[in-house]
């Protein structure tokens, strides 16, 4: 067999400050949900509900979620139409957009604490309070039950926090047994 000689030079002049590679994220039920070119912790958060903002024009990502209901959410004196995306396995609310087509608008919003980099472990984000949560609680005490979408989101968030706490307790108990 003839000998192959190569005089190629490999050079890397890429001076990006971002970490290279892809980052995978999973639902609380361990279902694969998202692969993206940046850590979610480096992305900005929305002031209204602390959701992670993915700018569709500048980010490369694949979101594995199924479309669900369309909700109109009241934000102070405005209304926002949300096209919600759910986990295909457990139907947990994962993300939402403001246009009917995935990546069709300028942003995709990942719900606070819905996904984690470590499969099967709830994210610590569930224990962070939403912006203005105490203000909403104070307002709700003065009003009758209005059944609006803000109440629904708050109740879902609290239920998800309880589920995350139970999952942590089960993981801690399993780690203690082995």
Residue ranges with strand state E in 28-169: 32-36, 52-55, 61-63, 66-75, 78-86, 93-97, 107-110, 115-116
Domain membership of residue 149 (yes or no) is: yes
- Nearest alpha carbon to residue 72 among 123, 147, 22: 147
pLDDT of residue 107 exceeding 70, the answer is yes
Domain membership of residue 65 (yes or no) is: yes
Q: How many independent structural domains does the chain possess?
A: 1
Domain membership of residue 76 (yes or no) is: yes
What secondary structure letter does DSSP report for 126? G
Domain membership of residue 86 (yes or no) is: yes
Antiparallel, parallel or unpaired: β 115-116 and 66-75: unpaired
Domain membership of residue 5 (yes or no) is: no
3-state helix, strand, coil in the chain (%, to 5): 25, 25, 45
Domain membership of residue 105 as a residue range? 23-177
Domain membership of residue 3 (yes or no) is: no
Domain membership of residue 11 (yes or no) is: no
pLDDT in tens, 143-170: 444 445 556 656 666 666 666 666 667 6
Ranges 90-104, 141-155, 163-177: which has the least confidence: 141-155
pTM higher than 0.85 for the full model? no
């Amino acid at each position: 067999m003839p000998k192959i000689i190569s005089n190629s030079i490999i050079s890397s002049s890429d001076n990006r400050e971002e970490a290279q590679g892809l980052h995978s994220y999973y639902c609380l039920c361990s279902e694969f949900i998202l692969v993206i070119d940046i850590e979610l912790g480096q992305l900005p958060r929305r002031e209204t509900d602390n959701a992670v903002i993915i700018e569709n024009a500048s980010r490369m990502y694949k979101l594995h979620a199924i479309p669900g209901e369309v909700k109109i959410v009241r934000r102070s004196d405005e209304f926002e139409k949300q096209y919600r995306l759910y986990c295909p396995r457990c139907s947990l609310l994962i993300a939402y957009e403001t246009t009917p087509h995935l990546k069709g608008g300028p942003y995709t919003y990942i719900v606070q604490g819905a996904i984690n980099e470590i499969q099967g472990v709830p994210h610590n984000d569930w224990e962070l309070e939403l912006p203005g949560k105490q203000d909403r609680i104070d307002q709700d005490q003065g009003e009758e039950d209005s059944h609006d979408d803000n109440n629904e989101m708050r109740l879902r968030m609290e239920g998800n926090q309880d589920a995350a706490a139970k999952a942590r307790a089960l993981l801690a108990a399993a780690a203690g047994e082995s």
